[in-house]
Amino acid sequence: MKDNQNGVEVNATTSETSIHTDFKNNMTYGEYLKLDKILSAQRRLSGHHDEVLFIVIHQVSELWMKLILHEMHAAIDCIKKDDLSSAFKKLARVSKTQSQIIQAWDVLSTMTPSEYMEFRDSLGQASGFQSYQYRMIEFALGYKTPHVLKIYEKDPELLKELRQAYEAPGLYDVAIQALNKAGISIDEEVLNRDVTRTYQENDSVRKAWITVYQNPQLYWDLYELAEKLVDIEDWLQQWRFRHMKTVERVIGFKRGTGGSSGVGYLKKVLDQRFFPELWDLRTEL
């Protein structure tokens, strides 16, 4: 580039005399991020060009899911401690992260059916259906399905971690507890429910959220918490829809590599709800 004052060619990097260049005894950016491990993890099982795309998209999605779990678990702890303002920050970050995962499907959808068929058999029975982090997200949102735990019996340590997540109260459980702490009556059967079972909607919870939405100034923190929960479920369903349409675009209605019905299964999960009362009250208000 040229220095505007005298027309002398100036290199932007060399003109910064304080930039560190000697790392013989110091940690580099690549070392901090462990880039040697991350960037060497895209090992194709076929010789097809597009397999790299397939691997990278799924690895990036798993990294985003790791962040979602990190923030969601922290938000659950904050709500338990009645620190709702800190929980809002973390839940907002979850929603922004979800938007990144959704956009990843746009990149994967550039792969055509013919290209995917070139390496699909190399996957064997490996499938996104087996993503344990996705299952942990479902658990944190209160959707508990004990039969999926069987998938992870191959790894006892992972299975132990999943069981802990399965047996822990979810985000909606602690939100309902927060309603009760605020003096809005919740049925004891809900407050003491078996959290290893998928949450079922309850009339006292419905009435509690209606009270919050009818009196937002009085229950502002709970009102904001409710909207954060709606954001998360909304983005999750958009992610599921983009997943379903991408699969349909690439493999049509073929059975998934993991044995599921593929698009048929993905369409069914779109009907799952995590925070039912928060959606139903929109009709009632």
CA-to-CA distance for 3 and 6, rounded, in angstroms?
A: 6
Query: Does residue 60 have a known ligand-binding role?
Result: no
Query: Does residue 257 have a known ligand-binding role?
Result: yes
Query: Does residue 212 have a known ligand-binding role?
Result: no
Query: Does residue 151 have a known ligand-binding role?
Result: no
> In 167-275, which residue ranges form alpha helices assigned H by DSSP?
171-181, 188-191, 203-214, 220-251, 263-269
Query: Does residue 120 have a known ligand-binding role?
Result: yes
Could you tell me if 258 and 126 are in contact, meaning their C-beta atoms sit under 8 angstroms apart? yes
Could you tell me if 148 and 127 are in contact, meaning their C-beta atoms sit under 8 angstroms apart? no
Query: Does residue 253 have a known ligand-binding role?
Result: no
Let me know how many helices (H) and strands (E) the chain has, helices first: 13, 0
Please work out, in degrees rounded to the nearest 5, the angle formed at the alpha carbon of residue 56 by the alpha carbons of 257 and 237.
Answer: 65
Structure tokens at 265: 């299964």
Query: Does residue 56 have a known ligand-binding role?
Result: yes
Query: Does residue 20 have a known ligand-binding role?
Result: no
Query: Does residue 70 have a known ligand-binding role?
Result: no
Written in H, E and C, the secondary structure of 27-43 is CCHHHHCCHHHHCCCCC
Q: Which of 162, 177, 152 is nearest to 258 (CA)?
A: 152
Residue numbers belonging to the annotated binding site for substrate? 54-58, 116, 120, 257
Positions at the binding site: 54-58, 116, 120, 243, 257
**Binding site as annotated, residues for heme:** 243
